Structure 1
Amino acid sequence: MAKVLTIHGGVPLKGKVTVRGAKNLVPKAMVAALLGDSPSVLRNVPEIKDVAVVTSLLKIHGVTVSKDEVTGDLTMDPSGTKTATSNEIDTHAGDSRIPILFCGPLLHSLGEALIPNLGGCKIGDRPIDFHLDVLRHFGAEIDKAGPLGTSIRAPHGLTGAKISLPYPSVGATEQVLLTAVRAKGTTEVENAAIEPEILDLISLLQKMGAIITVGRDRVIRIIGVEKLNGYNHKALPDRNESASWASAALVTKGDIFVEGAAQRDLTAFLHTYRQIGGEFEVTDDGIRFFHPGGDLKPLILETDVHPGFMTDWQQPLVVALTQATGVSIIHETVYENRFGFTNALVEMGAKVQLHSECLGAIPCRFGQRNFQHSAVITGPTPLTGADVDIPDLRGGFSHLIAALAAEGTSHVTGIELINRGYEKFMDKLTDLGARVEMNEIA
């Protein structure tokens, strides 16, 4: 039975939601527990699908995972780490790409690792080549010939290396960190990602005994150590979920207090939010986002790696820009196919034109490659309810808030994708006054 969410739009979202640990940190922090020789405790863990997936993957690799039912804290004991079969990994991973990050820790513990074919949101080409190249630099032997995936071995152990990433990939940087901390010698990675989630992962690894420094020039240096301890760490709050609810407040002309939102990690977003006409108030407990009245303003925006405007913030914000007076231009430089979600917005009445040219100040790596990675949005346009199938996590949330703002009724399928990154989103929608119903269809 498939699930369909019925949304009766036109109601401003008002109230409070709480965000907990970041989806882009928590699963990786759980993987890091494999590196320790004693149990690790992770706090501020959200109830999302990715956490459930990694919990299953850890268990089939012999890690004991227990959850405090009161606090939600996870305790992970890696003392029984063992090899899992490719079929087991494939079954438990589902559409997640997280198994690739198990490789470094498993190579240190067991000398081998397996990677099944990986899934994830369909927002562009996210090859594992970066990851495999990183592992080769450390001395891993890789066999991609197997029909069930990729086999990786390190019969002679792993050795530190000097690595220059062609792009500051978050995933590749995480791979370096999780592999280098126990490799022999020193590792230096140039052009590394320095997102808040990366820095929080570094903080966690330092608690375990890792030796890591981060330079302003995007160079991270790691001195490998023979063993690491377990950690006790509170995950930083999810800045992407915070920004999503902020856009929801703007699109529906609502007023939402996001408990747990951290200003320090949302600087670029807050600047843009106020620039287009949204308002916010920062407190010690979170941030209140609201539509102050009046017309929203168009803008020209390029996504970028941190500290730029994050790609995950772009999709919900595009929905708000359909209600701005004038022409907005968005240049997506991180994922080449991230504008696929706008087809549904056009069906709902939005005016969005996609272009393969780099409509930004600086040509990006997708230029001249026929990817429609720039968007021109003309507004304001009234939105009307429609039947929508969710394509990916952030695009799906964008469809939801468009439907919430639209006049009439929308029916949304593929809603399970939202569970990957938004904790208890149905409860949150209801608490904010949304008129929604979840049903099952044959």
Structure 2
Amino acid sequence: MSSVLTIRGGVPLSGRVAVRGAKNLVPKAMVASLLGDEPSVLRNVPEIKDVEVVRNLLRLHGVEISQDPATGDLTLDPSNARTAHVADIDAHAGDSRIPILFCGPLIHAIGEAFIPDLGGCRIGDRPIDYHLGVLRQFGAVVDKRPGGISISAPKGLKGAKISLPYPSVGATEQVLLSATKAEGITELTGAATEPEIVDLIAVLQKMGALISIQSDRTIRIEGVRSLGGFTHTALPDRNEAASWASAALVTKGDIFVEGALQRDMMTFLNTFRKLGGGLEIRDDGIRFYHRGGKLSPLVVETDVHPGFMTDWQQPLLVALTQADGVSIVHETVYENRFGFTEALRRMGATIQVHRECLGSVPCRFGQRNFLHSAVISGPVSLHGADFNVPDLRGGFSHLIAAFAAQGTSRATGVDVIKRGYEHFTDKLESLGADFDLSEGAA
């Protein structure tokens, strides 16, 4: 059965919500525990689907996991790591892409790894070629089998010089998790340097890894024979915080996001303020609110950190439908992230998508037939519509559009949102949203 959300819009979302550990860090830190010879403790863990998937996969591989009922802290003990059955891995992985990051740690722990055919949000190719290429450079043997890929390293993983053609977050994580116990020195150029990457490096350093970050996107890792455990508090989820910020602006509301961290959201905060949103930055979080006047149109280009993050783009685009004039969004990270705009157009939004690079500089998707630029005209009056949630961020964007719209909307497939938004329906209820949640057809 799939959850169905019936939304009665037109009510400002106001109140207080809390964000916990980042979806883009917590599951990866959990995987990192496999590298240790001792138990690890991870704090500030959100209750989201991606965490549940990794918890199940780790248990399949013999990792003992316990959770403090009072704090939610996870203790992960990898001392009995073992090979898991292929069918079990496939059953528990679902549509998650996280299993690809198990490869390095599992090779170090038990000498082999198997990853099922991978799913994930359909917002671009997201090829795993980067990952497999990285593992081969470390000396791994990659063997395609029915239902997935078997990876082994008979002679162990060896340090390597690796250059990424694009600063991929996933490929950078793969290098970090594989290189820390590889024999010799690994030098990665063209690395991603997102806050979640830096936090993962902090986790690995606590375990005993030798990792340095250079100013030119170069990361240097000196392999060590063994690692201990870690105790770490995950950084807060800046993507969820930005989503609630856009929700406040779209619905003309006022939301205080407890746990939102200014340091990791500076580019978003500048854009939010230029659009006309109100900000109040406090030590314990950030208040986002609609000032009551007109919103200003913007030109926004997504980019790798420290640029405007692609996960911020979709919720903010909904806010741009309410700006007074023409806005442009140029997506340079994922080539197919504007599929969600079709439902917004049915709600009354005026959005055109284009193949041309409409930003300040041509990007890697130019001349490749991808609809990766959007022109948004506003302000428009949104009205209710029925839609199916296409992916995590696009789905949340549909929801906030529906809560801003006049009339009733019906959203199917909303379970996808549980991948990255903890207790999102409880939070919506606390903000005064008017909706019903029911079980629909599978």
Offset, 1:441: 2.4
RMSD: 0.5
Residue 265 of structure 1, CA deviation: 0.2
CA distance in 1, matches of 2:242, 2:367: 31
Question: CA–CA distance in 1 between the matches of 2:367 and 2:65?
Answer: 48
Match of 1:346 in 2: 345
2:87 maps to a residue whose letter is N
Q: Which runs of 5+ in 2 are unaligned?
A: none
Match of 2:45 in 1: 45
Q: Measure the CA separation in 1 of the matches of 2:207 and 2:385.
A: 50
1:222-245, CA deviations, whole angstroms, 9 ceiling, x for partnerless residues? 000000000000000000000000
User: Could you tell me which residue of structure 2 aligns to residue 229 of structure 1?
Assistant: 228
Letter paired with 1:318 = L
* 2:298 is equivalent to residue 286 of structure 1: no
1:298-332 deviation line (CA, Å, top 9, x unaligned):
01111000000000000000000000010001100
1:164-313 correspondence runs (5 A): 164-313=163-312
The one-letter amino acid of 2:7's match is: I
| 8 Å CA contact 1:44, 1:234 repeated in 2 | yes
SS at match of 2:6: strand
In structure 2, what is the Cα distance between the partners aligned to 1:257 and 1:200? 24
Establish whether residue 399 from structure 1 lines up as the match of residue 398 from structure 2.
Answer: yes
Q: Which residue of 1 aligns with 2:83?
A: 83
Give per-residue Cα distances to partners, 1:116-149, cap 9 Å, x unaligned. 10010010010110000000110001112x1121
Q: What's 2:2 paired with?
A: 2
Q: Are the equivalent residues in 2 in contact too, given 1:33–1:230 (CA < 8 A)?
A: yes
**In the aligned structure 2, how far is the partner of 1:104 from the partner of 1:441?**
40
**What is residue 17 of structure 2 aligned with on the other side?**
17
Contact 2:30-2:54 within 8 A present in 1 as well: yes
Work out whether 1:332 is the aligned partner of 2:331: yes
Counterpart amino acid of 2:65?
V
Distance 1:180 1:314 in 2: 32
Residues of 1 paired with 2:414 and 2:355: CA distance? 29
Residue of structure 1 in register with 2:383 after alignment = 384
SS in 2 for 1:312: helix
How far apart are residue 161 of structure 1 and its match? 0.3
- Equivalent position amino acid for 1:422 in 2: Y
**Matches of 1:247 and 1:360, distance apart in 2:** 22
Partners of 1:434 and 1:110 lie apart in 2 by: 49
1:132 corresponds in structure 2 to 132
**Secondary structure of 1:376's match?**
strand
1:374 aligns with 2:373: yes
Query: 2:86 and 2:398 mapped to 1: Cα distance?
Result: 35
Matches within 5 A, 1:115-154: 115-144=115-144, 146-154=145-153
Contact 1:191 1:218 in 2 (8 A): yes
Aligned equivalents of 1:323 and 1:65: distance in 2? 46
1: CA distance, partners of 2:274 / 2:105: 44
Mapped to 2, the partners of 1:202 and 1:2 lie a distance apart of: 38
Native 8 Å contact 2:2 2:415 kept in 1:
no
**What is the aligned partner in structure 1 of residue 360 from structure 2?**
361
Q: 5+ unaligned residues in a row in structure 1: which ranges?
A: none
Q: Which amino acid aligns with 2:100?
A: I
Alignment-mate amino acid for residue 81 of structure 1:
A
Q: Secondary structure at the match of 1:179?
A: helix
Q: TM-score, normalised by structure 1?
A: 0.99
In the TM superposition, residue 361 of structure 1 has moved relative to its aligned partner by 1.1
| 2:366 partner amino acid | G
Counterpart contact for 2:45–2:73, Cα < 8 Å: yes
Alignment of 1:18-33 (within 5 A): 18-33=18-33
Q: In 2, are the aligned partners of 1:87 and 1:148 still within 8 Å (CA)?
A: no
1:157 aligns with 156
Paired residue secondary structure (1:32) = helix
CA distance in 1, matches of 2:337, 2:65: 35
**Matched length:** 441
The TM-score with structure 2 as length reference comes to 0.99
Give, in whole Å, the separation in 2 of the partners of 1:84 and 1:120. Answer: 22
SS of structure 2 residue aligned to 1:188: strand
Work out the CA distance in 2 between the residues paired with 1:80 and 1:20. 29
Q: Counterpart of 2:282 in structure 1: which amino acid? A: T
Query: How far apart in 2 are the matches of 1:2 and 1:284?
Result: 39
1:2: how far off?
2.5
Q: Is the 8 A contact 2:6 2:411 kept in 1?
A: yes
